[in-house]
Protein backbone atom coordinates (compact mmCIF):
# COMPACT_ATOMS: atom_id res chain seq x y z
CA UNK A 1 0.00 0.00 0.00
CA UNK A 2 2.76 2.42 0.90
CA UNK A 3 4.47 1.77 -2.42
CA UNK A 4 2.08 3.83 -4.47
CA UNK A 5 2.71 7.29 -3.03
CA UNK A 6 6.42 6.58 -2.99
CA UNK A 7 6.34 5.62 -6.68
CA UNK A 8 4.44 8.81 -7.46
CA UNK A 9 7.07 10.78 -5.58
CA UNK A 10 9.95 9.11 -7.41
CA UNK A 11 8.40 9.82 -10.77
CA UNK A 12 7.98 13.42 -9.73
CA UNK A 13 4.23 13.27 -10.04
CA UNK A 14 3.66 14.70 -6.61
CA UNK A 15 5.56 16.69 -4.00
CA UNK A 16 7.10 15.18 -0.88
CA UNK A 17 4.45 16.77 1.31
CA UNK A 18 1.73 15.26 -0.84
CA UNK A 19 3.30 11.82 -0.73
CA UNK A 20 3.50 12.00 3.03
CA UNK A 21 -0.07 13.12 3.22
CA UNK A 22 -1.24 10.33 0.91
CA UNK A 23 0.65 7.80 2.96
CA UNK A 24 -0.97 9.04 6.14
CA UNK A 25 -4.38 8.86 4.49
CA UNK A 26 -3.77 5.30 3.40
CA UNK A 27 -2.58 4.27 6.83
CA UNK A 28 -5.64 5.78 8.40
CA UNK A 29 -7.88 4.26 5.78
CA UNK A 30 -7.05 0.81 7.01
CA UNK A 31 -8.03 1.65 10.56
CA UNK A 32 -10.86 4.08 10.04
CA UNK A 33 -12.95 4.09 6.98
CA UNK A 34 -12.56 7.79 6.27
CA UNK A 35 -12.60 7.52 2.51
CA UNK A 36 -15.85 5.60 2.42
CA UNK A 37 -19.05 7.56 2.19
CA UNK A 38 -21.23 7.99 5.24
CA UNK A 39 -23.84 5.51 4.01
CA UNK A 40 -21.24 2.86 3.28
CA UNK A 41 -19.84 3.11 6.79
CA UNK A 42 -23.34 3.11 8.22
CA UNK A 43 -24.35 -0.07 6.40
CA UNK A 44 -21.02 -1.55 7.48
CA UNK A 45 -22.24 -1.47 11.07
CA UNK A 46 -24.73 -4.26 10.45
CA UNK A 47 -24.46 -7.83 9.19
CA UNK A 48 -26.91 -9.49 6.77
CA UNK A 49 -29.42 -10.34 9.49
CA UNK A 50 -29.61 -6.75 10.68
CA UNK A 51 -27.63 -7.47 13.82
CA UNK A 52 -24.60 -5.44 14.78
CA UNK A 53 -21.22 -6.51 13.44
CA UNK A 54 -20.27 -8.37 16.62
CA UNK A 55 -23.53 -10.33 16.53
CA UNK A 56 -25.32 -8.32 19.19
CA UNK A 57 -28.90 -7.08 19.07
CA UNK A 58 -29.38 -3.31 19.10
CA UNK A 59 -30.52 -3.41 22.72
CA UNK A 60 -27.87 -5.81 23.89
CA UNK A 61 -24.92 -4.64 25.94
CA UNK A 62 -21.63 -6.47 25.76
CA UNK A 63 -20.93 -9.14 28.35
CA UNK A 64 -18.83 -7.69 31.14
CA UNK A 65 -16.01 -9.25 33.09
CA UNK A 66 -15.07 -7.42 36.25
CA UNK A 67 -12.81 -8.14 39.16
CA UNK A 68 -11.22 -6.28 42.04
CA UNK A 69 -7.77 -6.60 43.67
CA UNK A 70 -6.07 -6.37 40.32
CA UNK A 71 -3.08 -4.22 41.26
CA UNK A 72 -1.22 -5.41 44.34
CA UNK A 73 0.43 -2.06 45.11
CA UNK A 74 -2.80 -0.06 45.19
CA UNK A 75 -5.19 0.22 48.09
CA UNK A 76 -8.10 -0.69 45.87
CA UNK A 77 -8.13 -1.68 42.24
CA UNK A 78 -10.29 -3.21 39.58
CA UNK A 79 -10.27 -4.50 36.03
CA UNK A 80 -13.19 -4.35 33.63
CA UNK A 81 -13.41 -5.95 30.24
CA UNK A 82 -16.24 -5.49 27.79
CA UNK A 83 -15.18 -7.49 24.77
CA UNK A 84 -12.44 -5.26 23.36
CA UNK A 85 -12.69 -2.42 25.84
CA UNK A 86 -10.32 -3.16 28.68
CA UNK A 87 -9.79 -0.84 31.62
CA UNK A 88 -7.65 -1.02 34.75
CA UNK A 89 -8.30 1.28 37.68
CA UNK A 90 -6.32 1.74 40.86
CA UNK A 91 -7.11 3.86 43.91
CA UNK A 92 -4.50 4.99 46.40
CA UNK A 93 -4.88 5.89 50.07
CA UNK A 94 -5.74 9.50 50.94
CA UNK A 95 -2.76 11.80 51.14
CA UNK A 96 -2.39 15.44 52.06
CA UNK A 97 -2.94 17.88 49.21
CA UNK A 98 0.43 19.25 48.24
CA UNK A 99 1.08 22.86 47.18
CA UNK A 100 -2.12 24.29 48.52
CA UNK A 101 -2.34 27.57 50.32
CA UNK A 102 -5.73 27.25 51.93
CA UNK A 103 -7.23 24.53 54.04
CA UNK A 104 -10.06 22.83 52.19
CA UNK A 105 -12.90 21.51 54.33
CA UNK A 106 -13.81 18.75 51.90
CA UNK A 107 -11.52 16.14 50.45
CA UNK A 108 -10.69 16.13 46.77
CA UNK A 109 -10.54 13.48 44.13
CA UNK A 110 -7.66 13.45 41.71
CA UNK A 111 -8.52 11.48 38.60
CA UNK A 112 -6.26 10.65 35.73
CA UNK A 113 -7.31 8.69 32.68
CA UNK A 114 -4.60 7.42 30.37
CA UNK A 115 -4.76 5.55 27.12
CA UNK A 116 -2.17 2.90 26.52
CA UNK A 117 -0.06 3.77 23.43
CA UNK A 118 -1.44 0.65 21.74
CA UNK A 119 -5.05 1.16 22.77
CA UNK A 120 -6.46 2.80 19.63
CA UNK A 121 -5.99 2.83 15.88
CA UNK A 122 -4.11 6.08 16.20
CA UNK A 123 -0.73 5.92 17.87
CA UNK A 124 -0.97 7.94 21.03
CA UNK A 125 1.80 10.04 22.49
CA UNK A 126 2.88 8.51 25.77
CA UNK A 127 3.72 10.78 28.75
CA UNK A 128 1.89 13.93 27.58
CA UNK A 129 -1.84 13.85 28.32
CA UNK A 130 -3.78 14.90 25.21
CA UNK A 131 -7.07 16.79 25.09
CA UNK A 132 -9.22 13.66 25.09
CA UNK A 133 -7.48 12.25 28.13
CA UNK A 134 -7.86 15.53 29.98
CA UNK A 135 -11.56 15.70 29.14
CA UNK A 136 -12.08 12.11 30.27
CA UNK A 137 -10.25 12.81 33.53
CA UNK A 138 -12.52 15.76 34.27
CA UNK A 139 -15.61 13.72 33.36
CA UNK A 140 -14.50 10.91 35.63
CA UNK A 141 -13.95 13.28 38.55
CA UNK A 142 -17.37 14.87 38.04
CA UNK A 143 -19.04 11.47 37.99
CA UNK A 144 -17.29 10.22 41.13
CA UNK A 145 -17.59 13.36 43.25
CA UNK A 146 -21.25 12.83 44.24
CA UNK A 147 -20.70 9.27 45.38
CA UNK A 148 -17.58 9.62 47.56
CA UNK A 149 -18.04 10.96 51.10
CA UNK A 150 -15.56 13.78 50.55
CA UNK A 151 -16.32 15.50 53.88
CA UNK A 152 -14.70 12.62 55.77
CA UNK A 153 -11.16 13.41 54.69
CA UNK A 154 -10.73 17.17 54.83
CA UNK A 155 -7.60 18.58 53.21
CA UNK A 156 -6.76 15.16 51.77
CA UNK A 157 -6.98 13.88 48.26
CA UNK A 158 -7.62 10.43 46.89
CA UNK A 159 -5.77 9.49 43.72
CA UNK A 160 -7.68 7.49 41.12
CA UNK A 161 -5.78 6.29 38.09
CA UNK A 162 -7.48 4.71 35.12
CA UNK A 163 -5.47 3.04 32.42
CA UNK A 164 -7.29 2.12 29.24
CA UNK A 165 -5.55 -0.92 27.81
CA UNK A 166 -7.79 -1.24 24.82
CA UNK A 167 -10.47 1.14 23.61
CA UNK A 168 -13.38 -0.18 21.62
CA UNK A 169 -16.02 2.36 22.57
CA UNK A 170 -17.81 3.26 25.80
CA UNK A 171 -14.47 3.74 27.57
CA UNK A 172 -15.79 6.50 29.84
CA UNK A 173 -18.64 4.29 31.05
CA UNK A 174 -16.20 1.46 31.67
CA UNK A 175 -13.81 3.84 33.46
CA UNK A 176 -16.54 5.13 35.79
CA UNK A 177 -17.80 1.64 36.64
CA UNK A 178 -14.22 0.45 37.20
CA UNK A 179 -13.41 3.43 39.40
CA UNK A 180 -16.57 2.84 41.46
CA UNK A 181 -15.56 -0.77 41.98
CA UNK A 182 -11.96 0.14 42.81
CA UNK A 183 -13.08 2.77 45.37
CA UNK A 184 -15.36 0.23 47.07
CA UNK A 185 -12.57 -2.35 46.88
CA UNK A 186 -10.20 0.09 48.56
CA UNK A 187 -12.77 0.71 51.35
CA UNK A 188 -13.14 4.40 50.57
CA UNK A 189 -16.35 5.64 52.26
CA UNK A 190 -19.04 5.98 49.59
CA UNK A 191 -22.74 6.78 49.57
CA UNK A 192 -23.60 4.22 46.94
CA UNK A 193 -22.31 1.98 44.19
CA UNK A 194 -21.86 3.90 40.97
CA UNK A 195 -22.36 2.35 37.54
CA UNK A 196 -22.32 3.94 34.11
CA UNK A 197 -23.58 3.09 30.67
CA UNK A 198 -23.33 4.63 27.27
CA UNK A 199 -25.51 4.85 24.17
CA UNK A 200 -24.85 5.98 20.60
CA UNK A 201 -27.70 7.33 18.51
CA UNK A 202 -27.82 7.54 14.72
CA UNK A 203 -31.18 8.53 13.28
CA UNK A 204 -33.81 6.34 14.91
CA UNK A 205 -31.33 3.60 15.75
CA UNK A 206 -30.00 3.38 19.29
CA UNK A 207 -26.80 1.43 19.84
CA UNK A 208 -26.54 0.43 23.48
CA UNK A 209 -22.97 0.04 24.72
CA UNK A 210 -21.48 1.16 21.39
CA UNK A 211 -18.23 -0.02 19.87
CA UNK A 212 -15.66 2.49 18.67
CA UNK A 213 -16.94 2.43 15.09
CA UNK A 214 -20.50 3.05 16.16
CA UNK A 215 -19.39 5.84 18.48
CA UNK A 216 -17.26 7.44 15.79
CA UNK A 217 -20.06 7.42 13.25
CA UNK A 218 -22.57 8.76 15.76
CA UNK A 219 -20.27 11.76 16.29
CA UNK A 220 -19.42 12.42 12.65
CA UNK A 221 -21.51 14.50 10.35
CA UNK A 222 -24.46 13.14 8.44
CA UNK A 223 -25.77 15.29 5.59
CA UNK A 224 -29.34 15.07 6.80
CA UNK A 225 -30.88 16.70 9.81
CA UNK A 226 -31.26 13.43 11.66
CA UNK A 227 -30.40 12.84 15.29
CA UNK A 228 -26.87 11.80 16.07
CA UNK A 229 -24.90 11.73 19.27
CA UNK A 230 -23.50 9.84 22.22
CA UNK A 231 -24.81 9.93 25.79
CA UNK A 232 -22.99 8.61 28.84
CA UNK A 233 -24.88 8.46 32.10
CA UNK A 234 -23.68 7.36 35.52
CA UNK A 235 -26.12 6.50 38.21
CA UNK A 236 -26.24 5.71 41.89
CA UNK A 237 -28.58 2.78 42.11
CA UNK A 238 -29.74 2.82 45.72
CA UNK A 239 -30.27 6.57 45.93
CA UNK A 240 -31.91 6.66 42.49
CA UNK A 241 -29.79 9.65 41.55
CA UNK A 242 -27.96 10.57 38.38
CA UNK A 243 -24.35 11.38 39.22
CA UNK A 244 -23.32 12.58 35.79
CA UNK A 245 -24.92 13.03 32.40
CA UNK A 246 -22.91 13.83 29.30
CA UNK A 247 -24.22 14.25 25.83
CA UNK A 248 -22.49 15.23 22.58
CA UNK A 249 -24.00 15.53 19.13
CA UNK A 250 -27.38 16.85 18.14
CA UNK A 251 -30.47 15.23 19.58
CA UNK A 252 -34.05 16.31 20.10
CA UNK A 253 -35.66 16.19 23.52
CA UNK A 254 -37.83 13.10 23.02
CA UNK A 255 -34.81 11.14 21.91
CA UNK A 256 -32.79 12.19 24.96
CA UNK A 257 -35.58 11.33 27.35
CA UNK A 258 -36.07 7.93 25.72
CA UNK A 259 -32.32 7.27 25.87
CA UNK A 260 -32.29 8.29 29.54
CA UNK A 261 -34.82 5.57 30.36
CA UNK A 262 -32.83 2.95 28.49
CA UNK A 263 -29.57 4.01 30.12
CA UNK A 264 -31.17 3.91 33.55
CA UNK A 265 -32.15 0.30 32.95
CA UNK A 266 -28.69 -0.57 31.64
CA UNK A 267 -26.99 1.01 34.66
CA UNK A 268 -29.26 -0.97 36.96
CA UNK A 269 -28.37 -4.20 35.18
CA UNK A 270 -24.69 -3.79 36.08
CA UNK A 271 -25.33 -3.15 39.78
CA UNK A 272 -26.00 -6.80 40.88
CA UNK A 273 -22.76 -7.88 39.21
CA UNK A 274 -20.74 -5.27 41.08
CA UNK A 275 -22.55 -6.11 44.33
CA UNK A 276 -21.77 -9.78 43.81
CA UNK A 277 -18.08 -9.07 43.29
CA UNK A 278 -17.91 -6.91 46.40
CA UNK A 279 -19.78 -9.45 48.53
CA UNK A 280 -17.48 -12.16 47.29
CA UNK A 281 -14.43 -10.13 48.29
CA UNK A 282 -15.86 -9.49 51.72
CA UNK A 283 -16.67 -13.20 52.13
CA UNK A 284 -13.21 -14.13 50.97
CA UNK A 285 -11.81 -11.58 53.38
CA UNK A 286 -13.75 -13.09 56.29
CA UNK A 287 -12.63 -16.61 55.36
CA UNK A 288 -9.06 -15.39 55.02
CA UNK A 289 -9.24 -13.71 58.40
CA UNK A 290 -10.59 -16.90 60.02
CA UNK A 291 -7.82 -18.92 58.47
CA UNK A 292 -5.25 -16.42 59.67
CA UNK A 293 -6.73 -16.47 63.16
CA UNK A 294 -6.64 -20.27 63.19
CA UNK A 295 -3.09 -20.30 61.94
CA UNK A 296 -2.16 -17.80 64.63
CA UNK A 297 -3.79 -19.97 67.27
CA UNK A 298 -1.90 -23.03 66.05
CA UNK A 299 1.35 -21.12 66.12
CA UNK A 300 0.65 -19.93 69.61
CA UNK A 301 -0.16 -23.45 70.81
CA UNK A 302 3.03 -24.75 69.23
CA UNK A 303 4.96 -21.92 70.82
CA UNK A 304 3.49 -22.73 74.22
CA UNK A 305 4.54 -26.35 73.89
CA UNK A 306 8.02 -25.23 72.89
CA UNK A 307 8.15 -22.82 75.81
CA UNK A 308 7.23 -25.61 78.19
CA UNK A 309 9.94 -27.81 76.71
CA UNK A 310 12.48 -25.03 77.03
CA UNK A 311 11.52 -24.07 80.52
CA UNK A 312 11.67 -27.70 81.61
CA UNK A 313 15.05 -28.11 79.92
CA UNK A 314 16.29 -24.91 81.57
CA UNK A 315 15.17 -26.25 84.93
CA UNK A 316 16.98 -29.48 84.15
CA UNK A 317 20.18 -27.61 83.31
CA UNK A 318 19.97 -25.54 86.44
CA UNK A 319 19.52 -28.75 88.39
Partner 1 sequence: MAGVLLSRTEKVFIIDGVKDEYRSDGRSTIDYRPMELETNVVSHASGSARLRLANTDILVGIKTEIDVPKPDKPALGKIDFFVDCSANATPEFEGRGGEQLANSISNMMQRAYQSPQAFDLKQLCIFEGKQCWKLYVDILILECGGNLCDAVSLAVKAALFNTKIPFVKAALMDGGNIDLQLSDDPYDSKLLDVGSAPLLVTLCKIGNKCVVDPTAEEEKCSSVSLIVGVTGNRKYYSDDDTEELPAFQPKCSAISMHGPGSITTTTLRNAINQGIIAAVCLDEALGKTVVRERRDIEKFKRHSYGFLK
The reply to whether 154 sits near partner 1 by the rule CB under 8 A is no
Instruction: Tell me the CB-side half-sphere exposure of residue 301, using CA atoms within 13 A.
Output: 6
> For residues 305-315, b (16+ Cβ closer than 10 Å) or e, as one string?
eeeeeeeeeee
As a whole number of angstroms, the distance between CA 246 and CA 243 comes to 10
Query: How many chain residues touch partner 1 (CB under 8 A)?
Result: 47
Nearer to partner 1, 66 or 139 (CB): 139
> Please, what is the minimum distance in Å from the beta carbon of residue 229 to partner 1?
7
The reply to whether 135 sits near partner 1 by the rule CB under 8 A is yes
Q: Which one of residues 25, 63, 154, 276 is an interface residue with partner 1 (CB under 8 A)?
A: 25
The reply to whether 34 sits near partner 1 by the rule CB under 8 A is yes
Nearer to partner 1, 71 or 144 (CB): 144
Identify which of 199, 264, 184, 259 has the alpha carbon closest to the alpha carbon of residue 60.
199
As a whole number of angstroms, the distance between CA 93 and CA 160 comes to 10
- Hey, how many other C-beta atoms are within 10 angstroms of the C-beta on 83? 17
Question: Who contacts 9 (Cβ-Cβ below 8 Å, separation ≥6)?
Answer: 15, 16, 18, 19
The reply to whether 227 sits near partner 1 by the rule CB under 8 A is yes
> Please, what is the minimum distance in Å from the beta carbon of residue 230 to partner 1?
10
The reply to whether 65 sits near partner 1 by the rule CB under 8 A is no
The reply to whether 244 sits near partner 1 by the rule CB under 8 A is yes
Q: Which one of residues 111, 236, 270, 277 is an interface residue with partner 1 (CB under 8 A)?
A: 236
- Residues binding partner 1 (CB under 8 A): 14-15, 17-18, 21, 24-25, 28, 32, 34, 106, 134-135, 138, 142, 145-147, 150, 219, 221-222, 225, 227-229, 231, 236, 239-253, 256-257, 260, 264
Amino acid sequence: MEGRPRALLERGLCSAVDAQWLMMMMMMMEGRDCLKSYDEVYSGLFDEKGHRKDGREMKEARAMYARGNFVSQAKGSSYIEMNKTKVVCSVFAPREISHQNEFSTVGQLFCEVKFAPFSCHLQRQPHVPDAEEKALSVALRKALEPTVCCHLFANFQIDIFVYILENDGACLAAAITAAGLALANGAVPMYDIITASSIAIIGDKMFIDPTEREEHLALSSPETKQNHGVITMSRMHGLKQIADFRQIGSLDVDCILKATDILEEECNKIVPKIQMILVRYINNGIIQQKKLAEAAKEREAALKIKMKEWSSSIIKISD
